A and B are shown apart, each in its own frame.
Chain A
Amino acid sequence: DQQVKQNSPSLSVQEGRISILNCDYTNSMFDYFLWYKKYPAEGPTFLISISSIKDKNEDGRFTVFLNKSAKHLSLHIVPSQPGDSAVYFCAASLNTGKLIFGQGTTLQVKP
């Protein structure tokens, strides 16, 4: 029973363009959502988060959008840079701190 899904295993984008990574969830009790970036042989690095009471959060080139009615969140990266090439995980949290991760999307940004 996968409560958090990232349906696109991979995404390829040209440098300078927008990258849009998507995530769907099923549990309406999730109250906090996060995006992590992961390079090979390293731990996940926190990128950006959003509380369930908001619909948008922005931090530099990264913006996360939350659509609670659709149980969908997305991460926008503008402009995309080659250094953004990594695996991106979305995660949803319950108030216990338990994070439930999606299976990840590999982003490749081409120069």
Chain B
Amino acid sequence: DTAVSQTPKYLVTQMGNDKSIKCEQNLGHDTMYWYKQDSKKFLKIMFSYNNKELIINETVPNRFSPKSPDKAHLNLHINSLELGDSAVYFCASSQGTGGYEQYFGPGTRLTVT
């Protein structure tokens, strides 16, 4: 059983389109995250939800909107895609907030052409 899963694994789309990436965890965790790994391989947090409540919102363009329908799911919707959005996006989850390890999904490679 995959602990943290993401779909799709690869996503190729054109500028201006709207796309979503889905994330599900079956670990029973309360907290979920979205990270972006850019072309320089830096992993940076974008959002965090705890019990469906947004607790971390980094300086991310408002074209990015996370949606948490329940504790086990955190989806990422991106409007009006731009070339600079091309990156690998990772979902993660943890048992709580501070002091807990985070478990990552396999990543979604987004390519905007």
Chain A positions near chain B (C-beta within 8 angstroms): 31-32, 34, 36, 41-46, 49, 51, 87, 89, 93-101, 103-104
Contacts and interface: CB of A to CB of B under 8 A. Distances in A.
Contacts of B48: 96-98
Interface in B32-88: 33, 35, 40-45, 48, 50, 55-56
Contacts, number: 69
Q: Dominant SS at the B interface?
A: strand
Contacts of B56: 96-98
Nearest to B104: A43
A104 B37 CA distance: 12
B55 A45 contact: no
Interface of B: 4, 31, 33, 35, 40-45, 48, 50, 55-56, 90, 92, 94, 96-107
B101 A95 contact: no
Given A96-B56, A97-B48, A44 B98 contact: no
B2 to A, nearest CB: 10
25 contacts: A31-B98, A34-B101, A36-B104, A43-B4, A43-B90, A43-B107, A46-B103, A46-B104, A93-B99, A95-B97, A95-B99, A96-B48, A96-B55, A96-B97, A97-B33, A97-B56, A97-B96, A97-B100, A97-B102, A98-B45, A99-B43, A99-B45, A101-B44, A103-B41, A103-B42
A33 to B, nearest CB: 11
Contact of A97 (B4, B31, B40, B106): B31
A46 B101 contact: yes
Contacts of A89: 43
Contacts of A95: 97-99
A44 B90 contact: yes
Contacts of B35: 99
Nearest to B31: A97
Contacts of A32: 98-99
Contacts of B31: 97
